[in-house]
Structure 1
């Protein structure tokens, strides 16, 4: 299965369409629903731009106005519902995300790729700081999950399980990497140290810069 180019790429648009499978809603009600369901823990949700997202969904025919309500002197409330085209787009988009791995470029990977400009012992100190925070975060998520399991079916907690798994995997990797720096078993760590001691690029690193 190949992923096709989407008319909309903001994951919030997909989250809104899924919310509208329940019933037509006003954008403010959509925001309340997403917050109540904890979707802000798994999707970057900018509630200020939610109205724009809904308008874009309407522009592309994925949602439509189903009703306009007025209660007393309150402003009119426009309710939006999912169209057949929107349901099809939602299903295809979600299927692609589940089936096809995507390169996401996490910012931590960027930092790791550039860390050579910082002295190894300082990198180790910074990573120990990160590791401590990750361990606290993992403990918090783990405790929260155990509490949620008492009242919420696991089906609705799988994204939190995945978050915990990824945090724990990062804890394991960072801990192992720190040990390699500490013991000197990391391939290239001696040249890394020499670079910061002398200010000159070691020959083995220079060769990587200019393989010709």
Structure 2
């Protein structure tokens, strides 16, 4: 599991994967993450990237190979993947692909407390969510189409395809939920429940 990893930060996984291509310094790693748009999946800033690289080096997963100096930029340490780091990369990635992980999305938290809101207001809020999800789905679809039309292999946009599948599934769920909330019997149930809670306070 992730919590038993020497460096459990997901950004460490991206660093190990990119170092498969060859030794790099952290600045170049950050540039590659942006160029390939992997920074959409691994949230970081410059400071956190350097911190993760240092943690990986301390854990023996990467090793400093050389320090590059030139007159225009400060010196930069180039890091290479170690054999231990290569093993960690493949083991971690195989686990993430094969084993579902329990996650706690914000929407799930809100749904667990949905009965707090009046049904009519909830329907309006969900309509706004559906509109935002529809816009997101269209944007992802366009980005995937542009990438594949440009000659990029599908495997390099598979995370976008996954996001699209999740968004479309959520849209279907929201539609079903709205239909339930609009039922007269739920409105009666909600009113009776809130009146009962009012009597208890």
Identify whether the pair has TM-score above 0.5, normalized to the shorter chain: yes
1:183 match: 183
* TM-superposition CA deviations, 1:64-99 (whole Å, max 9, x none): 001111112531110011100000001100000000
Q: Is the 8 A contact 1:120 1:193 kept in 2?
A: no
Report the secondary structure of 1:21's partner residue. Answer: helix
Q: Residues 1-212 of structure 1 correspond to what in structure 2 (within 5 A)?
A: 5-72=4-71, 74-150=73-149, 151-184=151-184, 189-196=187-194, 198=195, 200-201=196-197
- CA RMSD of superposed structures (Å): 2.0
1:13, 1:57 within 8 Å by CA — same for their partners in 2?
yes
The one-character-per-residue Cα deviations of 1:5-35 (angstroms, maximum 9, x if unpaired) are 2122111000111011111111111000001
Change (3 A) 1:153 1:55: same
Change over 3 Å in CA distance of 1:184–1:5 after alignment to 2: farther
Segments of 5+ residues of structure 1 without an aligned counterpart are: 207-212
Query: As a proportion of its length, which structure holds more helix?
Result: 2
Secondary structure of the residue aligned to 1:61 is coil
Runs of 4+ in 1 over 3 A off after TM superposition: none
Deviations 1:168-191 (A, max 9, x none): 000111011101111346xx5532
Q: Cα distance, 1:4 vs. partner? A: 7.8
Change (3 A) 1:181 1:201: same
Conserved? CA contact 2:119–2:182, under 8 Å: no
Instruction: Tell which deviates more after alignment, 71-80 or 17-26.
Output: 71-80
**Against the structure 1 CA distance between its residues 4 and 75, is the aligned structure 2 distance closer, same or farther, given a 3 Å change threshold?**
closer
- Shift of the 193–44 alpha-carbon distance from structure 1 to 2, 3 Å rule, reads farther
Q: Secondary structure at the match of 1:78?
A: strand
SS in 2 for 1:67: strand
Change (3 A) 1:136 1:21: same
Alpha-carbon deviation of 1:3?
7.5
Where does structure 2 lack aligned partners over 5 or more consecutive residues? none
Whole-angstrom distance in 2 between the partners of 1:47 and 1:160: 24
2:118 & 2:22 partners in 1: Cα distance?
A: 56
- What is the aligned residue count? 199
